[in-house]
Chains A and B, each alone.
Chain A
Amino acid sequence: MPNEQTEKIRTYIERNLAGRKVTNSETLFEGGAIDSLGHLKLIAFLENEFGITFSMDELDWEKFATVDAISQLVSEKVR
């Protein structure tokens, strides 16, 4: 499941936010793959896709730094 989950997240970012290929360890904000608008779109996607919820206190960009980090965050919330 984590691999499938990571794949889904990466595909969403590539198709809807970055418009290019990204790697699982690439820093998304610094590399320009995601900006502040994309960050919120990603949160909406994660909530819909994995049935989890985020609050305003969890907007910390560092937690969304890479595809791997996002997948880890989702796994923690799903548990």
Chain B
Amino acid sequence: MDQAFSTTAFTWILPALLFLFLALVPWAIAKIRGANFFPSLILVWCVAPLFLAKFIPFVFPAWSNGFVLIGLSFFCFRQISFFVDLWRSGRELPSTANYFAYLFFPPTFFLGPLQRFSQFEKQRLQLSWINLREGAWLVFLGLAYKFLVADTLRPLCDAFFSAQAPATLTYSYAALLAFSIQFYCDFVGYTFLARGLAKIVGFEVPENFFRPYLAKNPQDFWHRWQRTLGEWFRDYVYLPLFFRTKWVELSIFCSFLLMGLWHGLENNFIALGIYWGAVMAVFAWAQPLRIRLWRGLGPASPFLGWLATIHCVLFAFFLLRDNGLKALSQLRWDFSFPPALWLLGMKVAFPLLLVIPIERWGKEKGWLRLALIAWISYYAFLVFFFSEASAARDLKFLYFQF
């Protein structure tokens, strides 16, 4: 009984009290001393938990004792956005209920998508049959992306990145492709789930992904990939930095480096930040050159641009994944292709090439049932033929770790 209570306290009560405390202090200061009282102090208060959460487990692992506040990053992002927008707009302090509802709105609490307070406060709880139907559909899609595609690919990706032996180039390429799809579907699945749950209670949450793997250049990719987080970094890091330094390339580099460090202080995340920072800074610096090159390539330029971008992104996945740097360093220049990969490829190709287009087509035509039937048929197919995939199912999203 005592142990059960201490586990509950550790998992739920302590984090809830901590979040409440973090939200309450700056709010109380703003309420008592005015919204514009000592902005730097409030900003430090909002940023410090995020900094400590990344710094302490890395430098003093014994102190953190495995304690992780899931959702802290996005909580801090929302809080920073709330206060900075308040100062920039010079508006009155909104109601306490709205402030807390914004910070603790359950569907988007853990991983976003991020939303501005000004968009959020216009919305109200609204239960209706239409909202329930649309929301339930999004929830269903979210679970399908997560369980049908992402979790089916997980064993392959985990096996590749945890392997001690060097991998062939072909196998690495296939595993990297699989991981890019797994990561995308895992994250899109979460976003659908969050949007669906919000929709059920009448709230609109912005979309986060716009077919990112079809991007024609790195800048285009970051407009399509996790757009709400990208916009947050643009508005609260990149632009303020630019208006201080007036140096576009430096501001971009520092923003992406910070985004990499936000994932964690491990070598691969530092490398990830430096990598994207360098790619984007060079992209900005070489603007006239690449525009001329783009024109010179003629009609082939969109395809070549896409090809270069997708490989740029695939390489970044090496850095995002734990053991990715090790896997990269162990690459073997061997082009053989293990037959087991074909089978796994089939599992992925089927939903992507058949079910997803049917789902999109059905949705465009307003035939939601057709899309539903396509997914259910595929799910039945998977369960029947590949029941071992169910062992990998787990309601844990990859981005929780950040």
Residues of A within 8 A of B (CB): 15-20, 35-38, 40-41, 43-44, 47-48, 54-57, 59
Contacts and interface: CB of A to CB of B under 8 A. Distances in A.
- Which of A40, A54, A59 is the most central at the interface, judged by chain B CB atoms within 10 Å of its CB? A40
Interface in B260-291: 283-284, 287-288, 291
Interface in B230-265: 239-240, 242-243, 246-248, 251-252
The 9 closest A-B pairs by CB, nearest first: A19-B291, A44-B246, A37-B284, A40-B248, A19-B288, A19-B292, A41-B248, A16-B288, A56-B243
B122 interface: no
A20 B252 CA distance: 25
B240 A37 contact: no
B219 A37 contact: yes
B287 A38 contact: yes
B287 A47 contact: no
B227 to A, nearest CB: 13
B33 interface: no
B295 interface: yes
Contact of B242 (A17, A18, A19, A40): A40
Contact of B219 (A35, A41, A47, A48): A35
Contact of A55 (B243, B247, B283): B243
B26 to A, nearest CB: 22
Contacts of B251: 40
A37 B223 CA distance: 12
A59 B219 contact: no
The secondary structure that dominates the B interface is helix
Contacts of A44: 246-248
B287 A37 contact: yes
A17 B88 CA distance: 30
Contact of A56 (B240, B248, B283, B291): B240
Contacts of B283: 37
A38 to B, nearest CB: 6
Contacts of B243: 54-56
Given A19-B287, A37-B248, A41-B248, 5 more contacts: A19-B288, A37-B219, A37-B283, A56-B88, A59-B239
Contacts of B239: 56, 59
B288 A15 contact: yes
Contacts of A56: 88, 239-240, 243
Interface bracket on B:
10 to 19
Nearest to B234: A36
B240 A17 contact: no
Interface string B43-69: 000000000000000000000000000
B248 A17 contact: no
A12 to B, nearest CB: 11
A45 B295 CA distance: 25
Contacts of B247: 44
Nearest to A15: B288
A55 B239 CA distance: 10
Contacts of A35: 219
Contacts of B219: 35-37
Contacts of B246: 43-44, 47-48
Interface in B149-168: none
Contacts of A17: 287-288
Contacts of A37: 219, 248, 252, 283-284, 287
Contacts of A47: 246
A52 B248 CA distance: 17
Nearest to B294: A19
A38 B219 CA distance: 12
Nearest to A45: B246
A36 B217 CA distance: 14
A36 B247 CA distance: 14
A46 to B, nearest CB: 10
A19 B295 contact: yes
B364 to A, nearest CB: 27
B224 to A, nearest CB: 14
28 contacts: A15-B288, A17-B287, A17-B288, A19-B287, A19-B288, A19-B291, A19-B292, A20-B295, A35-B219, A36-B219, A37-B219, A37-B248, A37-B252, A37-B283, A37-B284, A37-B287, A38-B287, A41-B287, A43-B246, A44-B246, A48-B246, A54-B243, A55-B243, A56-B88, A56-B239, A56-B240, A56-B243, A59-B239
